[in-house]
């Protein structure tokens, strides 16, 4: 059975790190975008990373950040993967000596094959819902039929995923991984541990349909 990888994004406290680790997620996302309700400071992020068990990947999320800010974060926080969620060009993304993924907000008319070719150096593409004026974490899904068949097995699916739709999303798209933030929250920036557990159950249910 193929196992869909899971990233849970926007963690802000030790209890959430523990809940996500126990639930069996593969990766946690720490948001360094200052406008996000889930933003963490460098000191918070370092403490959260120190709490991570082995084999759970720490992902740092940035949105069009000043490169020096990314570098300073990397000097102090042991991030293993970078997630660029803005309009960063490939040369920017590749400049930090870390593996990286590029988030693509699914604007009308976007040609994903061309985006994949442009970001050939990325470890992967993460597809998220487009809403004008919002960088991400909208809690809204997009039309999964827009994802070309040839790319489905390598993408990370995001945008409006939740315990009650993730199994159907996996069955329909068969992505490499899924990423969730708002769908496992009690309120903005506060994770709900029962929802995290239910989300992981939904992922396993979806995996049985792959
Ligand atoms: O989580 C945020 O606050 C955030 C802020 C800026 C850019 C991206 C952000 N989160 C990412 O958005 C997607 C979808 O989130 P949701 O599940 O729809 O709430 C996900 O990749 C998060 O990593």
Tens place of pLDDT per residue across the chain (210 aa): 789 999 999 999 999 999 999 999 999 999 999 999 999 999 999 999 999 999 999 999 999 999 999 999 999 999 999 999 999 999 999 999 999 999 999 999 999 999 999 999 999 999 999 999 999 889 999 999 999 999 999 999 999 999 999 999 999 999 999 999 999 999 998 999 999 999 999 999 999 998
For the chain, the domains span 5-207
Pocket test for ligand 1, best of 106, 134, 158, 191 (most atoms within 8 A of CB): 158
Do residues 51 and 15 make contact, with C-beta atoms less than 8 angstroms apart? no
CATH 3.20.20.70 fits 5-207, yes or no: yes
Looking at the annotation, which residues are catalytic?
9, 128
Question: For the chain, how far is it from start to end, CA to CA, in angstroms?
Answer: 8
Return the residue whose CA atom lies nearest to atom 8 of ligand 1: 136
Stated pTM of the model: 0.97
Pocket test for ligand 1, best of 7, 10, 183 (most atoms within 8 A of CB): 10
Do residues 43 and 12 make contact, with C-beta atoms less than 8 angstroms apart? no
Separation between Cα atoms, residue 31 and residue 127, nearest integer Å: 17
């Amino acid at each position: 059975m193929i196992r869909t990888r899971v990233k849970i994004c926007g963690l802000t406290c030790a209890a959430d790190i523990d809940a996500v680790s126990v639930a069996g997620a593969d990766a946690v996302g720490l948001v360094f975008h200052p406008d996000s309700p889930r933003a963490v400071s460098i000191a918070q992020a370092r403490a959260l990373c120190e709490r991570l068990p082995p084999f759970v990947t720490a992902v740092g999320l940035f949105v069009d950040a000043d490169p020096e800010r990314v570098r300073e974060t990397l000097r102090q926080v042991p991030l293993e993967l970078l997630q660029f969620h803005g309009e960063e060009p490939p040369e920017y993304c590749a400049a930090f000596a870390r593996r990286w993924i590029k988030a693509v907000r699914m604007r009308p008319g976007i040609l994903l094959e061309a985006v994949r070719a442009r970001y050939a150096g990325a470890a992967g593409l993460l597809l998220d819902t487009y809403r004008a004026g919002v960088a991400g974490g909208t809690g809204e899904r997009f039309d999964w039929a827009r994802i070309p068949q040839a790319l489905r097995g390598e993408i990370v699916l995001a945008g409006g995923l939740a315990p009650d739709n993730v199994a159907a999303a996996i069955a329909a798209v068969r992505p490499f991984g899924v990423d969730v933030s708002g769908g496992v929250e009690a309120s903005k920036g506060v994770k709900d541990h029962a929802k995290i557990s239910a989300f992981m159950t939904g992922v396993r249910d979806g995996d049985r349909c792959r």
